[in-house]
Structure 1
């Protein structure tokens, strides 16, 4: 595997973190600020610098390149697979009446299955139900096939997110990358580091990813009581106080970030499903807890690996970035310290992360986690 990595801000030239070499038919991952992805001149600059056929774009809430966490930039990671291959498919949720299950089923059916090793998802993040998308992808999936990925971001603005494959990035797009090859080793892990607090309550009315009532009370009204003065800063303030949701009959809790609110019906729109009768608590975090969570994610991802990873794709939640603030690079440094020193790190801050729980292959939508996908040939 050969990798070339560089980043660029609007006001400076390209900064290469690896040797600048010509690659053969690479997969090019572009993670960038949404406003830059709307700039035609900036997109042309990327294509001039990386004149390759397979370019995947995704908007972010912060870009990761090696141990650097950047803002208002574009990071480009070009990967040449020497003994493996990849296939890219796309679909737009707006063409499926925002039905994530239907889109997921369609995308999975379009991917060749022979020698398929892993699926990586780069999804629009502003209005899609990530849980439904995963359910659609996994409806007919082989039990040994794993899925990881993330939902695009838009800083903390929550205005819109963009993604695409070889075209100008647009709203509603979901990109699915299939990785193939017997020599390809892919591992993954996801861990948070947030702690629940306050009373444990029950979701008494919900529909998909919309939460209407908790303990028979309007969900948004109850949530605002907990936030106090910070309620005036919603939905951005919710990134610091996500929900810990344990579905009925499940032991593993999922963290859910609030993407938007509806004051008219006092509901909250979350990044993934919030099933009826789930247990729910508020959560909060410390800088040290988040850094430790990133370290644990890296340790789990490295567990039982046969080869050293050539590439690590890091997807961390925007809420973690807001909590860590000026110390945000500490969680990236924790990951780097666990991985091999020569592993190339790329990734972004997201509105949702996709990965199975440890020791499972069934994918879940997470929030407020550090999610890793490690690749080597």
Structure 2
């Protein structure tokens, strides 16, 4: 990454209960630090605040050229988990190209069209593409669009939410407030690095996925047997309990891609013994059952934070934390965030949020033709 220091992004936090007061505090802090105006504002906010009212107040007080707001159950600011608050992250730098969109009708043709149109408006240059998917978005349609676009795009990051506690998620995209697929495209004077933290270890030998559903989101057979046999083999007496409590995301499958394991989270074991998965799988892929403990997950976070500290200059770090990972670590989840901050030090500024899953381009490729959909990892996005 470019070692040159820049004056932005500016990051501010408000934990005021009143949404008008919170928006005002964020905007006034930003104006004091960026008097020449804001080209792009990223705003993360908890469900206590109404997106429409936040948008109106930001318009009156700050009037950024572009805005992307994402709602989440909890936020992350430095080494703390914020249960109620607003985080504003603002860019004013010259040479930054920005395109935004909010899609409510998400099939793969719409996704590909928006991706290509936005890239053309940015001059055809490769860009960083950040999307957030509300529970109403059909993940398969988004992934198909991403697959068609990856060869001509650059780095793709999707933040996903599923039904349940996140059903009311709202986005702000410029003047629009709603649900759907919110996407922002950045090019030019910005440098983005995607880092993933796993910590899951493989169990036993490889098995071949021999039959999947048409959409690729259900594994029907492994080694020509009902797919659930793999879990019965390794988990034995735990199998019935985990099936009843929907806790198989604690034991994702691992498929080796480009020298590392891509996690496939099993959301449910269906009545016929097939595995409903998060994302897509392909026939012929070789998989293993993976297991993560508190020790292995935190050790992986320590290792990645140390690597970033030693190989990158200080920058903004966007920390995206999966709720499944939090379920595994329980009380240790907040300690993991504190450990990451402690290792990175005060010159790396951390902001982030909790989500259900992440869609991430796999690093280390000249062309980003592969991606992973994971619900048990955390991502560290370095922005300079």
Q: TM-score range by the shorter chain?
A: 0.7 to 0.9
Q: Does 1:195 align with 2:207?
A: no
Distance 1:175 1:224, change over 3 A: farther
Is 2:41–2:66's contact at 8 Å kept on the other side of the alignment?
A: yes
Q: Return the match for 1:360 from 346, 362, 365.
A: 365
Alpha-carbon separation, structure 2, partners of 1:213 and 1:38? 45
**SS at structure 2 position matched to 1:345:** strand
How far residue 375 of structure 1 moved from its aligned partner, in angstroms, is: 1.9
Q: Does 1:330 align with 2:335?
A: yes
Alpha-carbon separation, structure 2, partners of 1:113 and 1:289? 42
Alpha-carbon separation, structure 2, partners of 1:290 and 1:76? 27
Residue 177 of structure 1 is matched in structure 2 by 185
Is 1:190–1:357's contact at 8 Å kept on the other side of the alignment?
A: no
TM-score (ref. length: structure 1) = 0.78
Q: Return the match for 1:136 from 133, 137, 148.
A: 148
Question: Which structure has the larger Rg?
Answer: 2
Distance 1:210 1:74, change over 3 A: farther
1:280-319 paired onto structure 2 within 5 Å:
280-301=287-308, 304-305=311-312, 307-309=313-315, 311-319=316-324
Q: Does 1:4 align with 2:11?
A: yes
Residue 88 of structure 1 is matched in structure 2 by 99
Q: Return the match for 1:27 from 37, 40, 59.
A: 40
Q: What's the CA shift string for 1:79-134, capped at 9, x where partnerless?
A: 12323413122252x535x32x6513531332234494631312315431364343
1:254-273 paired onto structure 2 within 5 Å:
254-258=262-266, 260-261=267-268, 263=270, 267-273=274-280
Is 1:301–1:373's contact at 8 Å kept on the other side of the alignment?
A: no
How far residue 323 of structure 1 moved from its aligned partner, in angstroms, is: 1.5
Is 2:28–2:61's contact at 8 Å kept on the other side of the alignment?
A: no
**SS at structure 1 position matched to 2:284:** coil
Is 1:67–1:332's contact at 8 Å kept on the other side of the alignment?
A: yes
Q: Return the match for 1:123 from 129, 132, 136.
A: 132
Alpha-carbon separation, structure 2, partners of 1:195 and 1:268? 20
How far residue 42 of structure 1 moved from its aligned partner, in angstroms, is: 6.0
Residue 77 of structure 1 is matched in structure 2 by 88
Q: Return the match for 1:231 from 220, 227, 243.
A: 243
Q: What's the CA shift string for 1:321-369, capped at 9, x where partnerless?
A: 1122222122223332343513321122223334444433525224222
Alpha-carbon separation, structure 2, partners of 1:36 and 1:68? 18
Unmatched 5+ stretches in structure 2: 1-7
Unmatched 5+ stretches in structure 1: none
Alpha-carbon separation, structure 2, partners of 1:8 and 1:175? 26
* 199-208 vs 35-44, greater mean Cα deviation: 35-44
TM-score (ref. length: structure 2) = 0.77
Residue 256 of structure 2 is matched in structure 1 by 246
**CA RMSD, Structure 1 to Structure 2 (Å):** 3.6
**SS at structure 2 position matched to 1:328:** helix
Q: How many residues align?
A: 358
Is 2:45–2:86's contact at 8 Å kept on the other side of the alignment?
A: yes
Alpha-carbon separation, structure 2, partners of 1:366 and 1:189? 14
